């Protein structure tokens, strides 16, 4: 389920972006010292596109290696879909709840954020229950305890009472279930982050960088059950989340001149090419002699748990190039070819949970039926099609529900739905 390049996968999550359209269309540009929220009546489809793309990449990466695995970004650089999710999560959450804080105050915005945290927590508990049932059934039905060991639920089978309590405390998680706990913790601190950004956005980002540096210097981490630590260290990954929030609240516009610079563009391309050359040595050991020994000693290990600075820089390079060559008004964003990705991105919490379930189901089918390249390809494509179909059903259902509710509710009836859906 994992590789040497990606031991754990990553998340975030949708829900907040749907409120951007409603709030931006009905409210003027809001600003206070430190915060500038732009006006925009149209949804930012680029966020949905890349969030949906990350969902597909996560699903493919969590299947045993196959042909489609070579189309995922983790094979060509240091970062992967995890960075995409966390950045977009910080961006959309800050945009929606930052506006709520400016318009309704700290207390009301905090209440909305905590409601969203509760929704994500319930989703995590639900996914945990279904995931355990799926693995336990397969392991028992086919008399193969290796499934339980491989997916990290042996402790649950030995001590279910203790393990369930630890799971509710977010300390016990089976394989592939590390993103939601990280996102829950980051969202819990969002009110403080927004309150600080309401004062000074740049100072808030500087404090985030300081916490990141302290984490590396003093090895700060959260413990996990039964032993070890969180696969995604919140003390480190908060930097990417806060950076996304900083970009949403005016930082991106202030960086526009730097991003559009030709020098920045070539630096990004050079770094991405260097990262690509390094990753080649992971899959083709015969190229390892081309890497200088001192560079290897300085570079490795490229720590994902603590968000290695090389991973962060790689994501920044990808993001800068994407913003440069993919404008928000690009006509292709409304094409039918990209619609499946965008739909999945608009309902990423539900599709993320579905993807975790499908990844284990695909792993089981490959182990019990056939592990050939043809079956790998069929399972990968089938999983993507199921995710697309589910996203379409959810979108259709919400459209029908919203259309029916508009007959009985005023136009302000959805004002408190920030983060609730699209």
Is 64 buried (19+), middle (13-18) or exposed (0-12) by CB count in 10 A?
middle
Scored b (16 or more CB within 10 A) or e, 363-396 reads bbbbbeeeeeeeebeebbeebbebbbebbeebbe
Spatial separation of the C-alpha atoms in residues 260 and 237, rounded to whole Å: 27
pTM for the model stands at 0.84
Q: How far is CA 64 from CA 69, 142, 146, 370, 375, in A?
A: 9, 19, 15, 12, 11
Spatial separation of the C-alpha atoms in residues 205 and 310, rounded to whole Å: 19
pLDDT digits (tens, 9 = 90+) for 114-172: 999 999 999 999 999 988 888 888 777 777 777 676 777 777 777 888 888 999 999 98
| Longest Cα separation, the chain | 70
* Residues of the chain with confidence (pLDDT) below 50: 1-33, 40-41, 407-418, 420-422
pLDDT value of residue 360? 84
pLDDT value of residue 405? 58
pLDDT value of residue 13? 42
Nearest 5°: phi and psi at 417?
Answer: -100, 15
The closest of 363, 409, 377 to 142, measured between CA atoms, is 363
pLDDT value of residue 63? 84
């Amino acid at each position: 389920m994992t590789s040497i390049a990606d031991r754990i996968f990553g998340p975030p999550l949708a829900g907040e972006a749907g409120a951007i359209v409603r709030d931006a269309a009905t409210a003027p540009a809001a600003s206070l010292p430190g915060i500038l929220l732009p006006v925009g009546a149209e949804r930012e489809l680029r966020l949905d596109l890349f969030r949906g793309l990350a969902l597909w990449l996560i699903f493919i990466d969590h299947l045993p290696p196959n042909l489609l695995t070579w189309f995922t970004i983790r094979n060509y650089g240091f970062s992967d879909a995890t960075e995409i999710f966390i950045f977009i999560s910080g961006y959309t959450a800050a945009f929606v709840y930052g506006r709520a804080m400016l318009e309704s105050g700290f207390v009301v915005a905090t209440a909305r954020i905590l409601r969203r945290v509760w929704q994500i927590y319930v989703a995590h508990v639900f996914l945990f229950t279904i995931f355990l049932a799926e693995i336990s059934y397969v392991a028992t039905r086919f008399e193969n305890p290796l499934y339980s060991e491989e997916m990290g639920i042996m402790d649950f089978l030995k001590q279910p009472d203790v393990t369930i309590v630890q799971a509710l405390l977010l300390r016990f998680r089976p394989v592939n279930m590390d993103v939601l706990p990280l996102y829950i913790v980051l969202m819990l601190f969002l009110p403080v982050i927004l309150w600080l950004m309401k004062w000074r956005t740049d100072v808030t980002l500087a404090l985030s960088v300081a916490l990141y540096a302290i984490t590396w210097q003093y090895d700060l981490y959260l413990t996990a059950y039964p032993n070890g630590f969180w696969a995604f260290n919140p003390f480190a990954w908060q930097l990417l989340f806060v950076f996304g929030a900083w970009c949403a609240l005016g930082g991106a516009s202030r960086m526009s001149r730097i991003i559009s610079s030709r020098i920045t563009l070539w630096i990004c391309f050079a770094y991405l090419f260097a990262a690509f050359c390094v990753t080649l040595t992971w899959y083709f050991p015969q190229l390892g002699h081309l890497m200088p020994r001192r560079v290897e000693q300085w570079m490795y290990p490229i720590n994902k748990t603590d968000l290695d600075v090389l991973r962060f820089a790689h994501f920044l390079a990808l993001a800068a190039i994407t913003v440069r060559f993919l404008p928000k008004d690009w006509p292709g964003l409304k094409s039918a070819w990209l619609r499946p990705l965008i739909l999945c991105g608009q309902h990423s919490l539900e599709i993320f949970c579905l993807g975790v379930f499908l990844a284990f189901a695909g792993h089981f089918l490959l182990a019990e039926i056939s592990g050939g390249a043809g079956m790998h390809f069929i399972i990968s494509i089938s999983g993507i099609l199921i995710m697309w179909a589910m996203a379409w059903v959810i979108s259709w259902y919400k459209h029908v529900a919203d259309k029916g509710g508009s007959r009985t509710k005023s136009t302000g009836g959805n004002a408190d739905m920030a983060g609730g859906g699209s």
